[in-house]
Amino acid sequence: MTNRIFSALIVFSTAAALAAMALITLLLNRFSTERSAAELRDSCTLIATAVEQTGGDYLRRADFGGKRVTWILPGGKVIFDSETSPGLLGNHADRIEVTEAFSKGRGSSERFSATTMDTTLNYALRLNDGSVLRVSGAHPSFMRQLSTMAGPMLTLLLITGGFSLLYAFLSTKRILKPINDIDLDHPDIRKSYTELAPLLTKLRTQNGMVSRQMEELRRSRDQFSLITESMDEGFIIADPKMNILACNSAALRLLGTETLPEDNRHTIFSLNRSDGFRKCILNAMGGVSSRCILPGGKGECEIIANPVNNPDAVSGIVVLVFDVTERRQLETMRREFTSNVSHELKTPLTVIYGSADMLAGGLVKPEDVADFGKSIRGEADRLIKLIEDIVSLSKLDEDRVTEHEDVDLYELSGEILRRLSPQAEKKSVTCLLSGSKVVYNGSRTILDEIITNLCSNAIKYNKDGGIVEVKTGQSGGKTTITVSDSGIGIPPASLKRIFERFYRADKSRSRKIEGTGLGLSIVKHGAEYHGGTVSAESTPGKGSIFTVTLP
C-alpha cells in the first residue's frame, strides 16, 4: 500500500508538472503568435499605405526590420521581394494569403517548416491598383519553443520532482499512520479514518466471533482430552497420512511408548513398530475394520482399528487399545483349570473303575475284597473332596454372596481344631489355640473353609510329633488369623505359587500326602471375598506361617 500511494503521488505530481509546463508553453506560444500576427498586419497596412502614396520606390528604400515584403501583380507575378530577386520567384497566385487578398481584400496564412522548426506568418493586402502586398515574418513554432525551454524545464522538473518525492514520502507516512496504528485485536474507530469505520466495526465483530469460537473450541478440546484421558482404554485418531491427531496417555502406556514430544508431528507407526500393528492400521486405512492382539507395554493389548469412511475416501482412522492381559490370563487359567480338573477326576475314577472291574470279574480273592473296598472308598473320598473344593471355588469365583453374621473367630478356630483332632492324633501333632475372642462380621461358611484348609495343611505337612498353632487377634484395626506349624516348610521357589489352583509344591513328596491342590486357592479367594489378604512365610525343614488379614 505504501508503495502504491508513494508511486501514485510521484507519477501524479510529475505528470502534473509536465502537463503544466506544456500548457504554459502552448499558451505562451499562442500569445506570441497572435502578437506577431498583429504586428505583421500593422506593418503590412503601413507599408501598403506608403506604397499607395509614394509608389514602388518606397519599397526599395525602406528597412522592413527583418520582415520579408513581396509585391504581387494581379495574376500572381512577383514584381518586388525584399529578400530575393523577383525574377527567381515563381507565380504567387496560388498562395493562400495571396488568393484570399485578391478575392477578399486581405488574407493571411501560417506555414510550418520542419527544417527550421519555425512557422512563417503571412499577411497580404490588396492595393487600390489591384496588386497585392504581402508581409511575411518567421515565428518560432510550439515545438521550437518547447525545445528551447527543455533545459530550464528539466531543471524545474528535477526541483519539483525532489520536492514531490519528499512530499510523497511524508504524505504517505502521514496517510498510512492511522492505518498502521490500528490494533487489529482491539480496533478503535475513534483513532482511525471515518472511512474505515465500517471495516473496523466488522473487524471488531469478527474478532468477538473468533474469540468466542476459539473459546468454544478450547473448551471442547479440553473436554475431549478430559474424557479420553479418563479412559482406561487407549484412544488414537489418525489422519489419512497416518499422522496422529489425538492420542490419550492410556494408548501410550498400553503400547509401551514414551510420551510423544509436543512440537513434532508423529505417524501412528511411531507408537508401535510391530508388523501386526502396521498390518492392522493399513487394513483400516484401506477401509476395512481390523483387530489384532499385541504384546504391549506390560502385558497384552487388543487393537481395534476402524476406518472413518467418507463417500469418496477414508478420511482417517479411530483406534481403540484394550488391556487384555487379565482376560488372556483368565482364559489360560480357565483352560488349565479344566484340564487339571479332568486329570484329577480321571485318576481316582480309573482306580475305582479298575477295582470295581476286578471285583465284578471275580478276580479278587475273598480275603482282599475288604482292601479293594477300602481303596474304592478312599478314591471316592478323594473325588468327593475334589468336587467339594471345586464347588467352593466356583462359588467364590461367582462372588455368590452368602449370609453374613458375627463370627467369633477364636471360638470357630477351636471348633475346627477339635474337628481335625483325629487327623492330628494320627500324626501325633499338637494343636494349640492362642489369642483372644475376635468377633468378625462375615460368611461363617467361608471363614470356616479358610481356617479348616490352613489347619488341615499345617497338620498334613507337619512332622510326626510337630506343633500347629492357631492365633486370632486384632492389630492396626485389622483382624488376623495366623496358622503356624513346625512342618516340612515350603521351598522359596514354590512359595509364590502355592495359591495357584492345583499347584502342589514338590510333587513327588506331595503325592504321598493326600490333597487336591485347591485348598490354598480357596483360602486366598475366601480372604479376598471379605476384602482381605493372605500371606505365607516358610523355612524349609522348620515350618510355615500363614496369615490371613481381614479388614
- Interaction between residue 461 and ligand ADP (CB under 6 A): yes
Whether 176 contacts 75, CB under 8 Å? no
Of 251 and 490, the one with the shorter C-beta distance to ligand ADP is 490
- Interaction between residue 505 and ligand ADP (CB under 6 A): yes
| Dihedral (Cα; 439, 444, 446, 447), 10-degree rounding | 30
Site string for ligand ADP, 129-158 (x = CB under 6 A): ------------------------------
Q: How far apart are the first and last CA of the chain?
A: 80
- Judged by CB under 6 A, which of 107, 307, 348, 519 binds ligand ADP? 519
Segment 438-457, which members bind ligand ADP (CB under 6 A)?
453, 457
- Interaction between residue 515 and ligand ADP (CB under 6 A): yes
Quickly count: other Cβ atoms within 10 Å of residue 260's Cβ. 14
| Dihedral (Cα; 86, 88, 92, 96), 10-degree rounding | -110
SS (H, E, C) 228-275: HHCCCCEEEEECCCCEEEEECHHHHHHCCCCCCCCCCCCEHHHCCCCH
- Interaction between residue 302 and ligand ADP (CB under 6 A): no
- Judged by CB under 6 A, which of 248, 472, 516, 549 binds ligand ADP? 516
Of 132 and 505, the one with the shorter C-beta distance to ligand ADP is 505
Residue 470 CB, shortest distance to ligand ADP, in Å, is 12
E strands in 20-117:
68-72, 78-81, 106-113
Site string for ligand ADP, 402-441 (x = CB under 6 A): ----------------------------------------
- Interaction between residue 498 and ligand ADP (CB under 6 A): yes
Determine whether 109 is exposed, middle or buried from the number of CB atoms within 10 Å of its CB (0-12, 13-18, 19+).
middle
Residues binding ligand ADP: what is the number (CB under 6 A)?
A: 22
Instruction: Name the segment binding ligand ADP (CB under 6 A); options: 152-160, 238-246, 271-279, 519-527.
Output: 519-527
Grid cell of 195 as nine digits: 472511512
Of 471 and 504, the one with the shorter C-beta distance to ligand ADP is 504
C-beta pairs of 352-358 under 8 Å, 24+ apart in sequence: 352/376, 352/379, 352/380, 352/383, 355/379
Residue 248 CB, shortest distance to ligand ADP, in Å, is 41
- Judged by CB under 6 A, which of 296, 316, 517, 532 binds ligand ADP? 517
Of 121 and 468, the one with the shorter C-beta distance to ligand ADP is 468
Q: How far apart are CA 110 and CA 122, in angstroms?
A: 6
Of 101 and 458, the one with the shorter C-beta distance to ligand ADP is 458
- Interaction between residue 468 and ligand ADP (CB under 6 A): no
- Judged by CB under 6 A, which of 488, 527, 548, 550 binds ligand ADP? 488
- Interaction between residue 526 and ligand ADP (CB under 6 A): no
Residue 469 CB, shortest distance to ligand ADP, in Å, is 12
Q: How far apart are CA 255 and CA 244, in angstroms?
A: 14
Of 44 and 520, the one with the shorter C-beta distance to ligand ADP is 520
116 phi and psi angles, rounded to 5 deg: -90, -10
- Judged by CB under 6 A, which of 510, 533, 535, 547 binds ligand ADP? 510
**Nearest CA among 289, 279, 293 for reference residue 323:** 293
Whether 89 contacts 65, CB under 8 Å? no
Quickly count: other Cβ atoms within 10 Å of residue 303's Cβ. 26
Quickly count: other Cβ atoms within 10 Å of residue 540's Cβ. 16
Residues that bind ligand ADP (CB under 6 A): 453, 457-458, 461, 485, 487-490, 498, 503-505, 510, 515-521, 544
